[in-house]
């Protein structure tokens, strides 16, 4: 399979630089408001701050994939003497907590890297993090080219033209048996 270049977008988080100002939450929710910038409700943000000032914990977390089920096993982290709660590092929108759910509809929220119109040079949360706790990086990676369904269809059509439908179907049935 041939390789193609894919752009990978990354936001690096330096928790030591985060002071818990929550500008990232405000900027994200305003950018994704409808109409744009018409409101700024951190509950609608796709980045949330895990914030426990007494433990000196300020941890920005990006919304990832939605998951239907709550985990049965959880992890506890202690880093530099700071103890984090079991779900603090998790990016999932899941049934066990309200994080990363649209407050009115309950629909899951996911970070889209601000790829919405108008195109942004940098994600909004990065632009508004004045402490440089968030930095944006892009890199290129070589990945295997995805086979497009249309390409498969064209390939099958040309085989049918060349060998006839029955012969192609017999071959597929034979291959399926081998598997």
Which parts of this chain interact with ligand SF4 (CB under 6 A)? 18-24, 27-28, 31, 46-47, 49, 58, 60, 62, 111-114, 123-125, 128-129, 131, 133-134
In angstroms, what CA-CA distances link 101 with 44, 48, 54, 95?
A: 7, 11, 26, 10
Contact 103, 41 (CB under 8 A): yes
DSSP string, 25-42: HHHHHHHTSSSTTS---G
Q: How far is it, in rounded angstroms, from Cα 15 to Cα 121? A: 23
Task: Let me know if 26 is exposed, middle or buried by CB neighbors in 10 A (0-12, 13-18, 19+).
Answer: middle
Comparison of 96 and 131: residue with beta carbon closer to ligand SF4:
131
Comparison of 79 and 165: residue with beta carbon closer to ligand SF4:
79
In angstroms, give the least distance from the CB of 17 to ligand SF4: 7
In angstroms, give the least distance from the CB of 126 to ligand SF4: 7
Comparison of 99 and 125: residue with beta carbon closer to ligand SF4:
125
In angstroms, give the least distance from the CB of 4 to ligand SF4: 24
At 149, list the tokens: 């369904």
In angstroms, give the least distance from the CB of 128 to ligand SF4: 6
In angstroms, give the least distance from the CB of 130 to ligand SF4: 7
Q: How far is it, in rounded angstroms, from Cα 169 to Cα 148? A: 21
Q: Is the Cα torsion angle 98, 100, 104, 106 positive or negative in sign?
A: negative
Comparison of 22 and 94: residue with beta carbon closer to ligand SF4:
22
Comparison of 8 and 154: residue with beta carbon closer to ligand SF4:
8
Contact 49, 60 (CB under 8 A): yes
């Amino acid at each position: 399979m041939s390789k193609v270049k894919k752009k990978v977008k990354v936001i690096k988080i330096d928790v030591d630089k985060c002071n818990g100002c929550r500008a990232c939450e405000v900027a994200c929710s305003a950018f994704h408001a409808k109409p744009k910038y018409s409101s700024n409700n951190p509950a609608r943000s796709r980045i949330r701050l895990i914030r426990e000032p007494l433990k000196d914990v300020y941890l920005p977390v990006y919304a990832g994939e939605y998951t239907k089920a709550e985990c049965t096993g959880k992890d506890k982290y202690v880093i530099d003497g700071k103890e984090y709660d079991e779900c603090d590092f998790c990016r999932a929108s899941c049934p066990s907590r309200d994080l990363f759910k649209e407050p009115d509809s309950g629909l899951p929220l996911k970070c889209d890297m601000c790829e919405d119109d108008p195109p942004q040079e940098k994600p909004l949360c990065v632009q508004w993090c004045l402490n440089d706790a968030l930095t944006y990086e892009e890199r290129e990676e070589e990945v295997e080219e995805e086979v497009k369904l249309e390409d498969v269809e064209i390939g099958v059509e040309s085989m049918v033209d060349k060998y006839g439908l029955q012969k192609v179907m017999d071959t597929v049935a034979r291959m399926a048996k081998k598997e």
